[in-house]
Structure 1
């Protein structure tokens, strides 16, 4: 959601000098556009390929007088350029009267054996582990990176619109993209300079960030995190390149011969190296593929230059163009090193040619390579602090030396433009509206306070009826070392006020020592998660869902107080120690009883539990990346695994606590990118309770009576349908990202995505716990005789925002009111 709103903000509030510019369309004799035609400046290696609609744009810093236009099966056309800027060209190619002799291209299985381009590909595969920094024992180099966002497709109608009345000064200096030929206005720029150190023997790499400079919206953590996640690193030699949470098949991949058509197009000297030029384009539409070309050395078979452009038919939302260029430097006869990496993304609501959007551009320049300097392993383990205040306060002299590629006039002007915009009330209004929609909080700067979350103001459940909630939090900046947060709520049926309050303090930044505590008194739908948490402000969607399946009356009054210490002794490994005191009782006793046998009660039965627990939790998240150094950090990736081990000790007698027991729980969640076949998410949970405890302290297999698709729950189970003291669950969900539907002609253009899932649960409930909870007015059943299981089929990307799942129950169909089938769904803005 934050990603979508970020793009929406720039889209709605929207001359590096070059010598030769050409643009237009390539058609055949009937007027039909020719996709993937090759356009090149004559006597150069600078060129491009037409898109799916036959359109192209090409520019160069050099002056050229002629372009060559060619495509397999058509005669090459040579066009003289009358002037330096040539737009709206219409180039018609004639079918070739003669069969090509230089390069013979076959189709089907034969082309994979006899196509000379594929023979070159095989040599690239054989050499790819020997090229670049992999050839050396150790390496180091300087890395300069700039990330820029620009408003594009700006015309007079936009400038004169009411939306920008009073903001016309923004458009005084417009530039033209050398990739698309569209006008654009720079709006955001982030620069960083770092030194990279690596050791191929021990497989370690370290990055020391020495400088970071941010123009635009540097104080907005959501935007900064979005930018960080958007442009992750990639290696063109890998089989799959990941962008926007999707895996695109690399043209250098070993599976590329099944995905792309390859044509050996040309050969020439580049930097005194004889290189072959290979054009590639996809065999099928709607797959996550590129089109483009690359130049490869005839001796080392290392890539000298490559460009990749995502086809418009690719199954990806909100992105109209992705264009990548990489240039490699020739160090000697056998060493080619990455010199410059450029990536442009055109974000837009529509893929139509004239639609407005936002350019996201990343340029990374590499220099000062050094090799075979041996360093101890401890050097790589010792992490630098990327949030050292000195990193963000470098002077102009530092940046003059650090910029491996100088800023052009428009990039330099971003700083001044944004400073001016922030003083304009109308712009601040636009910014505030989008910030509220993205974060859910209304900022009150003069009080350093945020009001929200606006998305939880209204709710409904059987116990409270209609419910209103208003909350607030302190906010001085994204790196606050302490934060206070709280809310008040009121139910119009039970006519009771509820509240929650939490406080967090970062005591030591290096070890991430955090002290936290709070209290919550509210009504909650428990049993929606096996691995218990003590989040005093958390609230499940099932607690306030407007529409549910069946009676949603198994709600609990909860009064929870917590006190915790957390430390991160090693990166991504957290240790949490704490205590909690809970008072639990049914919110609707007539429908849902939490009664249990209590010899000390006058009636022999108690309906309320008071419980003090000590908790130790270990959380390991290898590969997780975060941004910020305050008490609350933002995650910038979701492709990491999460391992959690939790031990709970119930202490009877302390603060009138009722039960002595022990509980141990383990969970493991892992996303897997299965090449071009999509993304598999898996999770395993195990747990056991030692001792006799009432229903409110047992482990409930998570049901789901809402109409929302909630991962790690069982959508065909009612709340509290299965109750255990020993359990094991498995969830598997695979999103094919349209891999199958793209093969079906009728469905291909809809860009739908197929999702399949299977999940199972096994558990036991001891006779002693069954006896203790005998007064309960709900059945106490555990899936012990056979593993309970479900499966589902889903269709995602409906209208680009909707996913619908069809869920089937595999067994236990004789349970009271068992639901054999159900439909759930969810909304979301995903690439």
Structure 2
């Protein structure tokens, strides 16, 4: 560059810099930006006050304090005063200096003038009634105005949402805090007021944050969340499914919409205090009238009529401006509630006024303290706060905004810098929350912590981690059965420490009675270069298995050679030796639609008391092996499905959404040794129905049809259960191999009353037991072409040693069984008394039985 060009460039940049300086100096003078920080406390207790309104006098500008009583207010204009108001406190007005950044801390005093006169009278307590009760009349007006106060009353809504979820070990003793392993890690602990939920000492363990833009359209209905930033504490994936952990916590701590009839919480649904049926189950009392605030508010307190029912107690503040809207709400639960492990719970909801003078949710805070012992000992404290901003109504966005999945995460949402979070958080972090991400990283380097996690993983999942390889599951190392006798098994699989793309699994087993080795080997290739434990999965897998199997035993969430399943009722000596080669392709999508394509080469050999015999030209003939070659396809759609990915299974987190499955298998005759050509079509739908105070019902409906002629091992051998464990997808009083069909329909109904009946019985309500009922019905048929009675060349149905048939068809009438039971015994155990209603004359059947099931539930 020439000297003259350098001089011209220098002059140019000088002029630009000068103009920028002028603009920067002019803008503050013109806009008069004022920034105010501060904390608001109770004047008497000095505790911080969350969700206090801080408004600019003479304008529509304002904010609310966060969960820690802090606020930051950016003011545009030359305003000189702010006013602070909060339900139950006298409003405070403060002068401010326009155009400057300043800190203004404020204390609020209880306003005794707003309290109504309280008259205490002796004598007989008046019986509560809904009739001529002004509190009930008011709540009925709130119920009548629900539709107009909901977001769904607008054509379009959009807002920004910030979520923060925080979990700690709670109520820790000083002895625990001062343990030797924490000597150099005292920085991990958080101290708070000993009267606060969670107790004095907390040990933060988990945190996640999420920032999203949300859009709603009434017609056609659409609701979409676009996650623009997210952050999460990460644990070693060999121990914990981080995504599943987040999913589980979010299912427990769902958004609270007080205008819904039922509020989802802790995998339950609790009747809202402003539900249509609320006056039937709640008692309401007018406890305060706030006249010095516009609009005027009425504090309406409520409590369950039966304190053990799954209901809230607390207070709501209702506006008297004709909207009868909720301006504030505090929800908690009674200490006697039939809710497991919950020591304390409090949800605080705050509502802000929209441009049309109606109210929308502006902040929510849900705190829950869990513990095995409700009165003492350590536990877990969890808190989820949600803050809303930029609430806009009836401003349509382009159609593409509302299209696609209901939840979308923008690329690199989890890679936002700390500077980004500091600028975009709608709430502030405490010191413990601010440091938790790095503190957990430090915690995971402590050998004692890693040893503890290793022990927990071994106890819960059954695997011992050895780095790139893990051994297990331990509950299958030893079992026994009539065919193999004493069985030993040892196996394991690779971990993500070896590779995220390649995954191998194997085991070897030996039966001391049949003196045979069994084995399994599989290899998986992850096409999307993600762990196969990560959703959505996309992989191809090849496997070969040589092992035993009980015909008709299809277990869910448990290994077939689990030691506890070795104990069975009745005769159980008809088994199979299977040789199975499989090639599977699985592709899941973020929408929770998935498909699976499979190839299967399957050889079945009779074992134990089972045999394969047919009759050809009047002569009995023994068949050694049933050979099949199959192609299969499965479609599955589970909208909004939630689950925790464990070491062995995906454990579903129940919700109200249905799950649809369609499966077709085609047997290939004369292809790679296959001897049979047939088709097998199965359709299955399952769904949970929440019935508010009456509990919930799980219903599964299934139908099947086999096309073509096949021997009985290829028919539908209906799922039986001869163990003493209660199995939801099996028939608990049906014997193995008892029924076969080539077409059937079934229904499975399981209902939990959540203690609705027992809570009304004085001697039982203290036990917190819950009543359950179950019914299973199976309607089936076997066409003549598949019945060996009409086609002797087909394999004969098995008979026992006495020549008595053990396998039957369902022609003419259904198989039915039902049970009544008690769940939540010791908060873990369910016991059912099961009764069989049909086919009672079949040999060796159990007409009545007791079955057990271990279930962790809230």
User: Does TM, scored on the shorter chain, surpass 0.5?
Assistant: yes
Residue number among 108, 112, 126 corresponding to 2:130 in the alignment? 112
SS of alignment partner, residue 201 of structure 1: coil
- Of 473, 477, 486, which residue of structure 2 is paired with 1:457? 477
Q: Are 1:318 and 2:345 an aligned pair?
A: no
CA contact (8 A) 1:505 1:631 kept: no
Please give the secondary structure, in 2, of the residue aligned with 1:284: coil
Encode CA deviations 1:504-551: one digit per residue, 9 max, x unaligned: 334358996432231211111231349xx9xxx984368972211111
- What is the match of residue 126 of structure 1? 144
- Provide the C-alpha distance between the structure 1 equivalents of 2:429 and 2:633, rounded to a whole number of angstroms: 51
- Judging changes above 3 Å, is the alpha-carbon distance between structure 1 residues 656 and 598 closer, same or farther for their aligned structure 2 residues? farther
CA distance in 1 between counterparts of 2:356 and 2:256 reads 25
Cα distance in 1, alignment partners of residues 368 and 409 from structure 2 = 28
Matches within 5 A, 1:306-455: 306-332=329-355, 334-352=357-375, 354-383=376-405, 390-445=412-467, 447=468, 449-455=469-475
The reply to whether residue 738 of structure 1 matches residue 755 of structure 2 is yes
**Cα distance in 2 for residues equivalent to 1:159 and 1:369:** 44
Residues 162, 388 of structure 2: 8 Å contact kept:
yes
Q: Structure 1 pair 416/663, CA: closer, same or farther in 2 (3 Å)?
A: closer
Counterpart for residue 92 of structure 1? none
Matching residue of 1:31? none
* Whole-angstrom distance in 1 between the partners of 2:653 and 2:497: 18
Query: Is residue 658 of structure 1 aligned with residue 675 of structure 2?
Result: yes
Q: Distance in 1 between matches of 2:453 and 2:42?
A: 37
Would the aligned equivalents of 2:704 and 2:744 in 1 still touch at CA under 8 Å? Answer: yes
Cα distance between partner residues in 2 of 1:664 and 1:154:
56
The 1:505–1:385 alpha-carbon spacing in structure 2 relative to 1, beyond 3 Å, is: farther
Moved more, 241-250 or 746-755: 241-250
**Per-residue CA shift, 1:542-572, capped at 9, x if unaligned?**
8972211111212211111111223346822
**Which sections of structure 1, spanning at least 5 residues, go unmatched?**
1-15, 24-42, 48-60, 77-94
Q: Offset at 1:635?
A: 5.1
Q: CA deviation at 1:156?
A: 2.3
2:550 alignment counterpart: 525
- Superimposed CA distance per residue, residues 599-657 of structure 1 (whole angstroms, 9 cap, x where no aligned partner): 8x9973313101001112221223313689x9998755554322222221111111111
Matches of residues 123-522 of structure 1 in structure 2 within 5 Å? 123-161=141-179, 164=181, 166=183, 169-170=186-187, 173-176=190-193, 179-180=196-197, 182-185=199-202, 186-215=204-233, 217=235, 219=237, 220-221=240-241, 222-269=244-291, 272-299=294-321, 300-332=323-355, 334-352=357-375, 354-383=376-405, 390-445=412-467, 447=468, 449-476=469-496, 480-508=500-528, 513-522=538-547
Shift of 1:329: 0.8
Structure 2: gaps (5+ residues)? 1-38, 47-84, 90-104, 530-534, 789-793, 800-804
Counterpart Cα distance in 2 of 1:606 and 1:519: 23
In structure 1, the residue matched to 2:87 is 45
SS in 2 for 1:212: strand
SS in structure 1 of the partner of residue 175 of structure 2 = helix
| Inter-CA distance 132–761: structure 2 relative to 1 (3 Å threshold) | closer
Matched residue count: 746
Aligned equivalents of 1:331, 1:669: Cα separation in 2: 41
Contact kept in structure 1, 2:172 and 2:377, CA below 8 Å: no
Structure-to-structure mapping, 1:719-758, within 5 angstroms: 719-758=736-775
- Write out per-residue CA displacement over residues 171-226 of structure 1, whole angstroms, 9 at most, x where no aligned residue: 66412377437213223211111111111122211111111112353743153343
Q: How many angstroms apart in 2 are the aligned matches of 1:69 and 1:604? A: 98
Contact 2:476–2:563 (CA<8 Å) still a contact in 1? Answer: no
Give the Å deviation of 1:45.
Answer: 2.6
Residue by residue over 1:221-274, the C-alpha shift from the partner in whole angstroms, topping out at 9 and shown as x without a partner, is 153343233222331111111212212121111221121111011121586321
Q: Bigger CA drift: 289-298 or 634-643?
A: 634-643
Relative distance call for 1:594 and 1:204 in structure 2 (3 A) is farther
Q: Is the 8 A contact 1:441 1:454 kept in 2?
A: yes
Q: Aligned partners of 1:346, 1:69: CA distance in 2, in Å? A: 35
Question: The residue matched to 1:112 in structure 2 has which SS?
Answer: coil
Query: Is the Cα contact below 8 Å between 2:680 and 2:706 reproduced in 1?
Result: yes
CA apart distance, 1:361: 0.5
- Identify the match of residue 545 of structure 1 among 554, 565, 569: 565
Aligned to 1:784: 811
The structure with higher relative contact order (CA 8 Å, sep 6+) is 1
Is this contact kept in 1: 2:781–2:810, CA < 8 A?
Answer: yes
Quote the residue 2:783 is aligned against: 766
What's the counterpart of residue 805 of structure 1? 832
Q: In the alignment, is the contact (CA less than 8 A) between 1:217 and 1:223 conserved in 2? A: no
Q: Any idea what SS the aligned residue of 1:176 has?
A: coil
Residue 18 of structure 2: aligned partner? none
Residue 614 of structure 1 corresponds to: 631
- Name the SS of the counterpart of 1:604 in structure 2: strand
Cα distance in 2, alignment partners of residues 157 and 743 from structure 1: 42
Deviation at 1:663, TM superposition (A): 1.6
- 1:413 and 1:363 map into 2 onto residues whose CA distance is 18
Change (3 A) 1:544 1:216: closer
Asked whether the 8 Å contact 1:517–1:561 carries over to 2, the reply is yes
Deviations 1:721-741 (A, max 9, x none): 111122222111111111110
Counterpart in 2 of 1:87?
none
Q: Tell me if 1:565 matches 2:585.
A: yes
Gap change, CA 1:121 and 1:538, over 3 Å in 2? closer
Distance 1:97 1:673, change over 3 A: closer
Q: Which moved more, 1:62-71 or 1:175-184?
A: 62-71
- Give the secondary structure class of the aligned counterpart of 2:725: coil
Contact 2:41 2:108 in 1 (8 A): no
1:97 is aligned to 2:115: no
How far apart are residue 278 of structure 1 and its match?
A: 0.4
Query: Does the 8 Å contact 2:654/2:688 carry over to 1?
Result: no
Alignment partner, residue 695 of structure 2 = 678
2: CA distance between counterparts of 1:479 and 1:737?
45
CA RMSD of aligned residues (A): 3.5
User: How far apart, CA to CA, are the structure 1 residues paired with 2:191 and 2:807?
Assistant: 69
Structure 2 CA distance, aligned partners of 1:123 and 1:657? 71
Contact 1:483 1:503 in 2 (8 A): yes
Contact kept, 8 Å, 1:187 with 1:216, in 2: the verdict is no
Normalising to structure 2: TM-score of the pair? Answer: 0.80
Q: Does structure 1 conserve the Cα–Cα contact (< 8 Å) formed by 2:245 and 2:644?
A: no
Inter-CA distance 638–441: structure 2 relative to 1 (3 Å threshold): farther
Provide the C-alpha distance between the structure 1 equivalents of 2:427 and 2:590, rounded to a whole number of angstroms. 36
